[in-house]
């Protein structure tokens, strides 16, 4: 007999939320377009969004640029060219499957990323600016998988496998910004970081606790991030 399956994908909600944010972004752009004659460096703040959102509107399976680690970016500039940048991203995924034999296979994932950067902006050609500085990234990942224990004759026991991961990156970055107008710009960057990853994996069996285990791991290595993602920003 063919199993019945019920699957919920909250990441679709996140995708629709990104489209909603794009619409808000477009609203601000169109309502402030009359200020385009202002000098390029007049505005001291900007809000940016990963430009791969364009893929959500394409009628075919394609990708424009590389999906960055952060959906939203906020820059605050000072008169001396120095700036502070905050970036944020969150991803949620859930798959909940119920089969005809009453067995269940659930997979839930949660990931959040944040970084703060301090640097300086320098004009290198008309409408083109170099950004450089130091930043620190924080990332947390949680994945929990639950399924029926096939060794339990009653079929009521579960196996629960949980992964936790905390990632920290610290290092210099180099970025390039091009301004189409005083309010609209695109930006891309790369960096070289020291990465520290603290991971913990636990397994729990409700039927036989002898199978339970806990594994921990610490990884320290270098990480080189090439430019690939493009940030579309609105300055105000």
CATH number at residue 79: 2.40.160
Those residues whose C-beta lies under 8 Å from the C-beta of residue 66, and which sit 6 or more positions away, are 52, 228, 229
Hey, how many other C-beta atoms are within 10 angstroms of the C-beta on 106? Answer: 16
pLDDT score, position 137: 97
CA distances from 52 to 26, 87, 174 (A): 15, 16, 20
Tell me which residue range forms the domain holding 32. Answer: 11-37+44-235
Those residues whose C-beta lies under 8 Å from the C-beta of residue 112, and which sit 6 or more positions away, are 89, 90, 91, 139, 140
pTM for this entry? 0.75
Residue 83 within a domain = yes
Phi, psi dihedral angles at 134 (to 5 degrees): -130, 145
pLDDT score, position 152: 76
Residue 4 within a domain = no
Q: How many domains does the chain have?
A: 1
Residue 200 within a domain = yes
147: pLDDT confidence band, cut at 50, 70 and 90? confident
Which three-class secondary structure state does DSSP give residue 23?
helix
Where helices occur in the chain by DSSP H, the ranges are: 11-31
On whether the CB atoms of residues 196 and 219 are closer than 8 A, the answer is yes
pLDDT score, position 41: 63
């Amino acid at each position: 007999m063919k199993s019945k399956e019920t699957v919920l994908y909250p990441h679709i909600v996140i995708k629709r939320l990104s489209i909603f944010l794009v619409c808000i972004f477009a609203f601000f752009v169109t309502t402030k377009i009359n200020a385009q004659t202002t000098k390029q460096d007049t505005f001291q703040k900007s809000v940016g969004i990963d430009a791969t959102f364009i893929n959500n509107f394409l009628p075919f399976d394609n990708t424009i640029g590389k999906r960055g680690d952060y959906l939203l970016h906020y820059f605050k500039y000072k008169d001396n060219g120095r700036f502070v940048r905050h970036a944020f991203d969150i991803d949620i995924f859930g798959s909940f499957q119920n089969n005809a034999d009453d067995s269940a296979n659930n997979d839930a994932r949660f990931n959040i990323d944040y970084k703060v950067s301090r640097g300086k902006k320098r004009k290198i050609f008309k409408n083109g600016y170099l950004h450089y500085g130091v930043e620190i990234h924080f990332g947390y990942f949680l994945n929990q998988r639950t399924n029926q224990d096939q060794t339990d004759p009653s079929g009521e026991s579960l196996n629960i496998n949980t992964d936790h991961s905390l990632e920290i990156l610290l290092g210099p970055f180099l970025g390039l910004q091009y301004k189409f107008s005083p309010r609209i710009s695109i930006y891309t960057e790369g960096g070289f970081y020291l990465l520290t990853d603290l991971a913990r994996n636990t397994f729990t069996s409700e039927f036989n606790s002898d199978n339970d285990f806990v594994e921990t791991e610490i990884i320290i290595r270098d990480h080189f991030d090439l430019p690939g993602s493009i940030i579309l920003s609105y300055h105000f």
